[in-house]
Structure 1
Amino acid sequence: MFNKKAQTITPTESERIPYCDQIIIATLLVIIIAVPLYFDIHLHSVFDLSKITVLYVLTFAMLAIWSIKTIINGKQTWSEPMVNSQDRHTQPPDPSIPPVQKNENRDYAPQLLLQPLTLPILALLFVNGFATAFSTNPYLSLVGTYKRYGGFISTIVYISLFFVIIHFIDKKRLSSLLNVIILTACFASIYGILQHFGLDLYKWSVSTGPGMRVSATFGHRAFFSAFLIMVIPLVLIKIFSNSGFRYSTFLYLGILTLFMVAFYYTKARASFLGFIISNLFFICLIGKKNLLSNKTKTIATITIIIGISIFFNVNNRTSVIGRFVEEIKPVHRDSTSGKKTNNRQDKNLTKQDLFTQPTLVDDTTKDEPDSSQYHRLSDEHGSDWYVSLARQIEGTTLTRFLQYLASFRIIRDYPVLGIGPDTLGMIYPQYIAKLYRDMNEHRVFENQNRIHNDLLNTTVSTGLLGLGVYAWLIFAYARMVWKGCKKAKGSDKILIIGLCSGCLAYFIQNQFSFGHVPIITLFWFLIAMSVIASPVTYSQPEGMPARAGTNLTASFRRVGNPAIRRFGKQTFCGIIICLMVLLIILSLFRYKADLYFEHGRRSLNKNKITEAIQSYETAVKYNPLALNYRNVLNGIYLKMAEIGGNKNSNKITEGLENIFSREQITMYFAKAIGGAEQVQKLYPRDYHSAFTLGQVYNLLDKISPARPGGNEEMSKEAIKHYKRATMLHPFKFELRNKLARLYAEKGQYEDAIHELKEAKKILPSNQAAYLNLAKVLMNDDERYEDAEAVLLEFIKKNPDSKIIDIYRLLSFIYLKTAKWEEILDQSIKIIQIDRKDLEAHKYAIMANLKLERYDDARKLCNRILNFTGDANNTYSKYAKEMLELLSEK
């Protein structure tokens, strides 16, 4: 027969299985609560990294526990006696042996393949995997960009979450899960409303306060509003599932009101469209019977939705519709005029330069601080249809429209598998620059790491193959929901429609925005819950929970040696457990790295240079492949080397000799070059590291012992890297300006003129390019008339900008060309801005003498003497000499 010892099973092992289930279910509840609500103000990525870390750690833990459960199940199953079917039916059970739990994992794989969404979801996973492998930057596609984390690992996590839910959550638990999601949204909504009234407990941003668009615990109003419109249909499920008007109905009507108020405080347009369409979808599909079963409840619900919507849309301050109107109107403006900007030309190094936080390489930030003026295209003629359309819109609507045009060009170049997940920020500047050139525009723009349209973003990232799989998933889901609605009755039908409405809200808003960690997490929860809510059409194997699509139509025969299968299964699960532990550790390391990074930023703001550098270096140590960390650290090394190598920076380095010694300065140069070169190897399309290399070699050329001629090799390296940076980001003003200045220093005036013309087109309101271009023209065969035309062009385009340097250089040009009336005019303008500007007084005296206006010249000389007092400087000497000369007149 068989050995009785082999069939003995430890009761403890049998008891561990339900504990594993309970832990996994509890972890799922923690995920749906913690991911939307948790954030850490001690991180630099306050909302993004905090949420993705929670999701990663808990999901990896669940997969590890599931693997442990599978191993335990395998031990129990294979310890059953190996007998033939006759023995199995004839031998009575031994009451002394505890019952063996049915091994549901034995039949789970074939069941999984019969789930209605399994095949398209697995196809989605494989396509993302292939797109990552053939990505323009595979590592970036694997882990995702900083603050977005939309790489292949995140896709694996979301899909794993889906399979965990459909395996461990049954239909009976759906109601409780809905309540947990609604409760989470309640906490977020209360926090958002408090933000609206300036009662934010955590001052994580200066953009929150009374009357501001709220973001609650999500970090951005678009993400918060998207979460709310996905949860509102779940509240409607609770309201319409109850046949009568119970006390719980009053509670859910109050919650609906809370959500509506919080939603309109976000003023998000994409979510507004999703809200309207998803709620109309819900109301239309639940049918008259459910709507009229309790008219009072239906009227109350519709009154809340419509009443609050009308209230907030007639108030211009909180009007979503107003935001639509203000950006779509055929108004023509002169886009060449702009605001006053800081002078970037020949900026001296100060202590403030060192202690200011370097610009982060964050693709969501604006390239220039004054780019708001470019929210509308100029009115220059263009024949293409999209040019005419683009000139009728402005603001973020224009930004999205240009994104869509650029995305079509990217798809044309990468049609099959796309550019790879989360790599858009690396190539977007080149494509949008080409688009602008075709439109005869040179504009500062926001670099993007997402196309604000889910279908286009999917196609750009994973190609037409990815789009096809995505369409397959949508079709499979719609087919499943349609069949479910046809077969379900009463509250079950309302449940399916409500879950589908939540998914529809996400899909609609994503056509004008993009997903984020908490809303993508909720989306996969809703997808999985829809699968569970769908009715069962086939009988289930004994011991298996009833779930949609898990029915078997045929038996699956196991082949091969049972012991080998058991060993292979346990080995695979063991590998999964080890991998999950490793991924958890790496996730925590990444979290710790960001803590150090933020600590470094705060230390730098407090002028604690050594402590800041140590913190940044520690951040790179814990997350060595993080692009953002390395670029910031390399920028600090560059700035330290620049200050230490500047002979005029004695005041800055005073008292800091320990960090500005000769050895330290040499080390800063070496670290800046080494760090930037490593970034270029890891991320060849990163313009920031190329620009850093250009600046380092440019600086080395300046301080080279071979001066005044400079170091030819260093200058060649600087030009090479500057040109690469401008190729990677064609419309970055600072890149063009730096390259032009280097060309000018080397006497390559034509190249310098070309770069400066590009620079002034990019930022017409910035005087630096105009000043530098005028100086280059003056040095290039004394082209004073061309230099004058450039400066007058700036004045014409920026009539409201009163820039002393522009007037002063014009005065110098008029001095060289003996235009004395013009000199006097420019000098008076300078004196009106700064009445103590002695240089302007000197020029005005010279002009008045040439024009024989001696009284005015005397007044100006006396004014110089009044300003200088007893000081004996060049200006006071000049004034005295001129007064002596005038005494003879």
Structure 2
Amino acid sequence: MFMVEKISGWCGKIIEWSFYLLFFFVPLILTPLNYELFEYNKMMMVYGFALVIGASWIIKMIANGKPVIRRTPLDIPILLFLLSQIISTIFSIDRHVSIFGYYSRFNGGLLSVISYITLYYAFVTNFPQDKIKKLMFWVLSSGFLVSVYGILEHFGIDKNIWVQDVQNRVFSTLGQPNWLAAYISVLLPISLGLGIITFRSSEDRAVESQKSKVKSQNYNSKVKSSFFKEKIGLSGYWVVGSIYYLTLLYTKSRSGFIGFWVADVILIALTFIISYIKSKNVCTNDVTIVTGNVQGRSGILGKIVLANILFLVITFFIGSPFTEFNKYTFPELTRNKSVTAEVVKPPSGTALETGGTESGEIRRIVWKGAIDIIKHYPIFGTGVETFAFAYYKFRPLEHNAVSEWDFLYNKAHNEYLNYGATTGLVGLGSYLLFILFFIIWNLNKVKNQKLKFKNSNQKLKVEEDAHNSLFIIHSSLFSGWLTILITNFFGFSVVIIQLLFFLIPAIIIVLDSAIYPSNHLTIQTKRPVNSYQMAGIILTFFAFSFLIFTLCKFWYADTLFAKGYNLNRAGDAVTANPLLRNAVMLNNNEPVYHDELSVDYAQLAVLAYDQKNATLSAELAQSALEENNKTLSISSQNVTFWKSRTRIFYALSSIDNKYLKAAVDSLLIAEKLAPTDPKITYNLGLLYMKLNEKEKGLDFLLKSAQMKTNYKDPYFALGLFYMEEGKKEEGKKAFEHILKYISPDDVEVKKQLEEIGN
């Protein structure tokens, strides 16, 4: 017979340990098996733990016979935010992406938002307050492992694995330097806060010493033992903090660097305020105790100052992400004295990560496009996570002038503008409301703590010291959370950052229940569960099992897709086909799978035609069109899928010329979705030339050349066209433009000019 108390206890333990493992494994997990190595696996793990925690919570409530969801100060903004995401999804230009997230980013879809909110309420309702410090150990331990790997990465442990120059800018297990920096900048204030509370004031040790004198003759050894434990604990947190900070510098992330130092100043201010108020307002006739308070305050602040001096020393020897400051650092001061020339490996990756056109300029252009989206979709936006599709439509023409003109931007590289563009002012407003509520609530807690110390007395001192320690943890968590607001301004949330964004407030609220106890009670009885409760528990378990199975199925489908995708890129469409078909079978609602399979079928159709197998070729061509139609029926606003349709029809035109007109029609739709993309207009020009509609072809080639004056392809095509038409002067001008503004040493262009001269 199952007792309510036992079931409730089991579920409570499952929830508790699931949170430990969630915070520990999400930053660490990655696999080489998936299409996207980092974010996909982290998101799948969040879904998995959300299901485990959610199911355990439901079973616990069924067993207790009463639904228990703890009320929190953030209920209203969370509810409004969730409603805004749901409404934006309903009116989305791509509901599939709005529900599941953009394929390769994943975080940010409606399902992920629901998961984070579920975890938030599961935590505040079920997680025991006395286990918070243990949870922090798991959080910081994971960050420690991530940081150690990042440092080893800087020294070349995996330099031959990645295309990116990971020694120049490390990303460890997070996948991108700015994401790693955002994560580390959250953990740094937390490690400082926990380090602070391990160092008790001399006053506290004096009080313990007096008590020990009365109770034991061995008080000196006890106090010494406690003192050494505190020193070891403080040193441990300093070492961890130093490793975090070193990793932060190795990311060379300016946003993460700024975020940490702002949070550090806030943590110092909060700690100083509380320590100062406490020492100022404690009233006692014992002069030693008063002196102890002052020493305690100076001791705590002294440790913070020393920690910051340590960080500055590390910065001096390593350098900062800001070149303006680096001229005062050791590497720059000694650089000119070195007789050995330094060979610098050219960075790879996007300019927002490593260089190219100044990242600030690219952000300005992308932000301009995001603002245009907001102007056209002001209320509910284009739909949750649809920035990639919406941006193409409002992409500023000046984007063609930057080094990354042909990159796909599926985020606004500003979390706030991203919410504004995809969920409108309603979504952005609710998101900002959540932030504002939490900041105001925390500031009120500082005020309440001040009043608490003003009304303190010696009798309540022990209780107040405990509250003071909790408040320092509270302050360090809040300071760490504030770094997210800064790094999100220059980037966007990934899985671990979004998890911390929602769960740090939950942790603080649980801590707050100890500082300011609530009337929240946990229901437990020794009665057995009845048959109705058992039926509910069994149904919940089966529903949970089905969802976990579906999650595993989707994960496996992604591994098959990744293999098929890579084989297609390697030119092995035959081997790729069964893998892609199995991926589609396991996850039939994913348009990315249908799209890749449709392109694969088209390649096989051409191959069969070349092998004189007309029947098989026709069947494969039909399969290609069917898969592409399925793709567009799910996601019709994705310009990439219309480009794929063009590729399919163009490939099939080698079998039957009728497909060439269909290729043009598909690309014209793509042009409407991305009117400032010079590649689309260039390819339209070529296709019209193939259809012998030279006037239209010329118009599109000229349009492409005007869109991007340093784009070689349309100018070269124009040069060839003019030569064929006997217009040598116009052809010469087109070729000379390439040599003058694009590629001065282009051998092929020089050859064409020589032919014109002859």
Common fold by TM > 0.5: yes
Task: Name the amino acid aligned to 1:274.
Answer: G
Tell me the alpha carbon deviations over residues 265-289 of structure 1, each in whole angstroms, 9 at most, x when there is no partner: 1111111121111111110111166
Match of residue 45 from structure 2 = 54
| C-alpha contact 2:246 2:314 (8 A) present in aligned 1 | no
- Say how many residue pairs are matched: 666
Instruction: Describe how 1:586-625 pairs up with structure 2 within 5 A.
Output: 586-604=550-568, 608-625=572-589
Task: Name the amino acid aligned to 2:591.
Answer: L
Q: 1:143 to 1:516 in 2, by over 3 A?
A: same
Q: 1:640 to 1:309 in 2, by over 3 A?
A: farther
Instruction: Describe how 1:464-475 pairs up with structure 2 within 5 A.
Output: 464-475=425-436
Match of residue 365 from structure 2 = 402
Match of residue 17 from structure 2 = 26
| C-alpha contact 2:678 2:704 (8 A) present in aligned 1 | yes
Match of residue 664 from structure 2 = 719
Q: 2:379 aligns with which of 401, 410, 416?
A: 416
Deviation at 1:37, TM superposition (A): 0.8
Q: 1:567 to 1:133 in 2, by over 3 A?
A: farther
Match of residue 770 from structure 1 = 715
Q: In structure 2, how many angstroms separate the alpha carbons of the residues matched to 1:613 and 1:483?
A: 61
Tell me the alpha carbon deviations over residues 295-352 of structure 1, each in whole angstroms, 9 at most, x when there is no partner: 566445434434444643675xx530128999xxxxxxxxxxxxxxxxxxxxxxxxxx
| C-alpha contact 1:443 1:763 (8 A) present in aligned 2 | no
Q: In structure 2, how many angstroms separate the alpha carbons of the residues matched to 1:253 and 1:601?
A: 46
Is 1:185 the equivalent of 2:163?
no
Match of residue 280 from structure 2 = none
- Unaligned stretches of 5+ residues in structure 1: 1-9, 75-104, 327-363, 377-393, 546-565, 647-656, 705-709, 815-821, 824-889
Q: In structure 1, how many angstroms separate the alpha carbons of the residues matched to 2:420 and 2:532?
A: 38
**2:489 partner SS:** coil
Task: Name the amino acid aligned to 1:259.
Answer: Y
Match of residue 675 from structure 2 = 730
Deviation at 1:732, TM superposition (A): 4.0
Q: 1:767 to 1:26 in 2, by over 3 A?
A: same
Task: Name the amino acid aligned to 2:745.
Answer: S
Match of residue 441 from structure 2 = 480
Match of residue 874 from structure 1 = none
Q: 2:519 aligns with which of 524, 527, 540?
A: 540
Q: 1:408 to 1:578 in 2, by over 3 A?
A: farther
Task: Name the amino acid aligned to 1:121.
Answer: I
Q: 1:532 to 1:542 in 2, by over 3 A?
A: closer
| C-alpha contact 1:484 1:493 (8 A) present in aligned 2 | no
| C-alpha contact 1:132 1:420 (8 A) present in aligned 2 | yes
Q: 1:695 to 1:189 in 2, by over 3 A?
A: closer
Normalized per residue, the structure richer in helix is 2
Q: 1:786 to 1:281 in 2, by over 3 A?
A: same
**Percent identity between the aligned chains?**
21
**2:14 partner SS:** helix
Tell me the alpha carbon deviations over residues 228-271 of structure 1, each in whole angstroms, 9 at most, x when there is no partner: 11111111111111315522111111111111111111111111
Instruction: Describe how 1:743-762 pairs up with structure 2 within 5 A.
Output: 743-761=688-706
Q: 1:313 to 1:518 in 2, by over 3 A?
A: same
Q: In structure 1, how many angstroms separate the alpha carbons of the residues matched to 2:78 and 2:160?
A: 40
Match of residue 730 from structure 2 = 786
Instruction: Describe how 1:610-649 pairs up with structure 2 within 5 A.
Output: 610-643=574-607, 645=609
| Deviates most, 660-669 or 524-533 | 660-669
Task: Name the amino acid aligned to 1:192.
Answer: G
Q: 1:68 to 1:264 in 2, by over 3 A?
A: same
**2:579 partner SS:** helix
Is 1:490 the equivalent of 2:468?
yes
Deviation at 1:772, TM superposition (A): 1.8
| C-alpha contact 1:135 1:420 (8 A) present in aligned 2 | yes
Match of residue 859 from structure 1 = none
Task: Name the amino acid aligned to 2:519.
Answer: Q
Tell me the alpha carbon deviations over residues 553-587 of structure 1, each in whole angstroms, 9 at most, x when there is no partner: xxxxxxxxxxxxx9999998777655544332222
Tell me the alpha carbon deviations over residues 737-792 of structure 1, each in whole angstroms, 9 at most, x when there is no partner: 33212211233222111211233345555543223212323444x32221221111
Q: In structure 2, how many angstroms separate the alpha carbons of the residues matched to 1:220 and 1:420?
A: 26
Deviation at 1:701, TM superposition (A): 4.3
Match of residue 258 from structure 2 = 273
Q: In structure 2, how many angstroms separate the alpha carbons of the residues matched to 1:247 and 1:699?
A: 68
Match of residue 112 from structure 2 = 154
Q: In structure 2, how many angstroms separate the alpha carbons of the residues matched to 1:734 and 1:799?
A: 18
Deviation at 1:541, TM superposition (A): 5.7
Q: 1:252 aligns with which of 231, 237, 243?
A: 237
Aligned-pair Cα RMSD in Å: 3.2
Deviation at 1:694, TM superposition (A): 2.6
Q: In structure 2, how many angstroms separate the alpha carbons of the residues matched to 1:433 and 1:22?
A: 53
Q: In structure 2, how many angstroms separate the alpha carbons of the residues matched to 1:249 and 1:465?
A: 46
**1:540 partner SS:** coil
Q: In structure 2, how many angstroms separate the alpha carbons of the residues matched to 1:39 and 1:441?
A: 32
Match of residue 305 from structure 1 = 308
Match of residue 285 from structure 2 = none
Match of residue 138 from structure 1 = 95
Match of residue 531 from structure 1 = 509
Task: Name the amino acid aligned to 1:490.
Answer: N
Deviation at 1:810, TM superposition (A): 2.8
| C-alpha contact 1:443 1:761 (8 A) present in aligned 2 | no
Q: In structure 1, how many angstroms separate the alpha carbons of the residues matched to 2:374 and 2:469?
A: 44
Is 1:169 the equivalent of 2:118?
no
Q: In structure 2, how many angstroms separate the alpha carbons of the residues matched to 1:690 and 1:511?
A: 32
| C-alpha contact 2:397 2:676 (8 A) present in aligned 1 | no
Q: In structure 2, how many angstroms separate the alpha carbons of the residues matched to 1:539 and 1:810?
A: 83
Q: In structure 1, how many angstroms separate the alpha carbons of the residues matched to 2:558 and 2:104?
A: 11
Task: Name the amino acid aligned to 1:415.
Answer: P
Which one has more relative contact order, counting CA pairs under 8 Å at least 6 apart? 2
| C-alpha contact 1:444 1:763 (8 A) present in aligned 2 | no
Q: In structure 2, how many angstroms separate the alpha carbons of the residues matched to 1:132 and 1:572?
A: 31
Is 1:122 the equivalent of 2:79?
yes
Q: TM-score, normalised by structure 1?
A: 0.70
Q: 2:182 aligns with which of 204, 208, 226?
A: 226
Q: In structure 2, how many angstroms separate the alpha carbons of the residues matched to 1:307 and 1:541?
A: 43
Deviation at 1:465, TM superposition (A): 1.3
Q: In structure 2, how many angstroms separate the alpha carbons of the residues matched to 1:765 and 1:524?
A: 45
Task: Name the amino acid aligned to 1:469.
Answer: S
| C-alpha contact 1:60 1:581 (8 A) present in aligned 2 | no
Match of residue 343 from structure 2 = none
Is 1:70 the equivalent of 2:65?
no
Is 1:673 the equivalent of 2:614?
no
**1:417 partner SS:** coil
Match of residue 868 from structure 1 = none
| C-alpha contact 1:196 1:208 (8 A) present in aligned 2 | no
Deviation at 1:443, TM superposition (A): 8.1
Is 1:217 the equivalent of 2:173?
yes
Q: 1:54 to 1:700 in 2, by over 3 A?
A: closer
Task: Name the amino acid aligned to 1:617.
Answer: R
Q: In structure 2, how many angstroms separate the alpha carbons of the residues matched to 1:671 and 1:808?
A: 44
| C-alpha contact 2:368 2:396 (8 A) present in aligned 1 | no
Q: In structure 2, how many angstroms separate the alpha carbons of the residues matched to 1:604 and 1:677?
A: 20
Q: 1:429 aligns with which of 367, 392, 413?
A: 392
Q: In structure 2, how many angstroms separate the alpha carbons of the residues matched to 1:494 and 1:156?
A: 31
Deviation at 1:191, TM superposition (A): 0.8
Match of residue 37 from structure 1 = 28
Q: 1:238 aligns with which of 194, 198, 210?
A: 194
Is 1:685 the equivalent of 2:685?
no
Deviation at 1:39, TM superposition (A): 1.1
Q: In structure 1, how many angstroms separate the alpha carbons of the residues matched to 2:532 and 2:168?
A: 58
**2:746 partner SS:** coil
Deviation at 1:636, TM superposition (A): 2.7
| C-alpha contact 1:189 1:259 (8 A) present in aligned 2 | yes
Q: 1:136 to 1:469 in 2, by over 3 A?
A: same
